Chain A
Amino acid sequence: MQTQSSRWLGHGLYLVIMAVLISGVYFAGQKIDYTWHWERLWPYVINTESQDIVAVTDGTAVVDKSGRLSIQPDYGDDPQIIDVYDTLVSRDGDLIFQGDTIARIDGWRFGPIAEGLWVTIKISFISLIFAVLLGVMFGLMRVAHGQVWRNLAMTYVEVIRGTPLLVQIFIVYFFIGTVFDLDRFTAGVAALSIFTGAYVAEIVRAGIQSVPVGQMEAARSLGMNYVQAMAYVIMPQAIKRTLPPLAGQFINLIKDSSLVSVISITDLTKAGREVVSGSFAPFEVWFTVAILYLVVTGGLSLLIQRLEKRLSASD
């Protein structure tokens, strides 16, 4: 129905509207009494400042011919040897006190925002794997023949979907975490996996039930048992149908992972909060955090789209 030209017109109009919106945000940013300091943010992402190497004891600096620096302690301990450094601050024979800067090393390290991002990716990824395992297991139970299995799976799904994630995180951390002696990270992963697993179970159930009954009958009449029919005939078709809703659920998982900051896991969100108080650049920080979440969720979206394309070979 849509003509080529009207589509280009649509794209053009979209660009104009976006430009207006973005410049609106920009001018609003200029108008308020706020000085933007994007450069302040950078060290919190990647820190390129040279790092100090400090003496661990009182002693005397020794620089040998090959340029190797060591601190000979006053009282007969083993010397502190510094093989790798970029600039020397102390000279041969200097008296050194504990905590003195004796050399500097260039290079870079990740700041708290990058580290928070890594924690977010890690916790989301591990939770995703467990959520899929839980989801497939309970999804299969939902369509099993035994009433016990169906009831158990239904209870899990209803209980988890009927309570807020934040409350579940507290329960897992303070109650289950105490009983089983879990650390924060494990508790966070457990809460996120159990929460997302319930939604994945529903998606898996719907996917299995969307495969026509004739498929199961054909597989069974060829002599396959229930497990074989599920594994080779039903699930491959169900998975293809569940990919779009699963993608949505995984994106939710990444966003929901921001809630684990309430049990003091320094994920991207918590890192953002900490950096705001250190950098005095709240707007810059929160914009950056939002964009980083977008990059992760967008990347995942793209990945699943490619997988979908590959699986659609038989359409």
Chain B
Amino acid sequence: MIEQAKVPPSLQPLIHASKVNKVFPNGCHALKDVSLEVLRGQVVVIIGPSGSGKSTFLRTLNQLEPITSGQIVLDQVDLTDKHTDINIVRKEVGMVFQSFNLFPHKTALGNVMLAPMKVLKQSKAEAQKTAESLLQRVGLADRMDNYPSRLSGGQQQRVAIARSLAMKPKALLFDEPTSALDPEMVGEVLDVMKGLAHGGMTMVVVTHEMGFAREVADRVVFMEDGELVLEETPERFFHSDHPRLQRFLGQVL
């Protein structure tokens, strides 16, 4: 940490995880010494077989999952410090889930407005204005008053992205955002995510969409058995002859 203090804050990693370990109460060692740095504006894609700890790692980054040992620093705030108010950290890191997790009792607009009003204490008018422009940005201007049950999977996921953006987060975490979607809806969600990436949003994305990784990732990470096996730029990543990665890519491609 001392060496980093000399570096101006804007050049320091926004997310800095070092030697993170996670052992679940049932004894499952889901993360083994995982370290990762994400700079401001970077997009990091995590791939790996099911059960390799991708979700668990992502969830430790906003402390939905407390870690067993190691350190996670977010914008110079140590999340593992007992004195850190975790709610303040969480509102600065958005999370988009595989199963959308929209609030079913609220309309699309209501979903996006809720947290800004309750957490950021925005006025209703203010929250509504932001929500409307965000929903417009994800292409749902005509769906604002629909309840989630009346929206397709792709539309729900776009509402979920807008909902995260409404908190003006410093970073967004995506946990397989397109895995629960019918193939024809994957594109619309990926397009929104590409737009965010080009707009300079810091993103950590768990996905099986190799095309997305190739196109927008600054770095691609391969995880297996709770370990971070490989971390490379997309070009070098997809040309790597690492045997474990080869085995995995051979299975999915």
Contacts and interface: CB of A to CB of B under 8 A. Distances in A.
B139 to A, nearest CB: 21
Contacts of B118: 224, 228, 232
Interface in B76-124: 87-88, 90-95, 97, 99, 101-107, 114-115, 118-119
B148 to A, nearest CB: 8
A217 B96 CA distance: 10
B158 interface: no
A228 B117 CA distance: 11
Interface residues of A, number: 21
Contacts of B148: 314
A217 B147 contact: no
Contacts of A237: 103-105
A214 B119 contact: no
A240 interface: yes
B105 A223 contact: no
A217 B101 contact: yes
A212 B92 CA distance: 24
Given A214-B99, A237-B104, A237-B105, A220 B64 contact: yes
Of A220, A228, A236, A240, chain B has the most CB atoms within 10 Å of the CB of A220
A237 B105 CA distance: 7
Assign chain B's interface to a size class: 20 to 34
A220 B148 CA distance: 19
B80 to A, nearest CB: 17
A225 B91 CA distance: 10
16 contacts: A214-B101, A215-B101, A217-B64, A217-B95, A217-B97, A218-B103, A219-B115, A220-B64, A221-B62, A221-B64, A221-B90, A223-B90, A223-B119, A224-B119, A237-B103, A315-B147
A314 B105 contact: yes
Query: Which 9 A-B residue pairs are closest in the complex by CB-CB distance?
Result: A223-B91, A218-B101, A222-B115, A221-B95, A214-B101, A314-B147, A223-B119, A223-B90, A236-B105
Contacts of B93: 221
Interface in B143-175: 147-149, 160, 163-164, 167
Of B90, B95, B101, B119, chain A has the most CB atoms within 10 Å of the CB of B101
A227 B114 CA distance: 14
A233 interface: yes
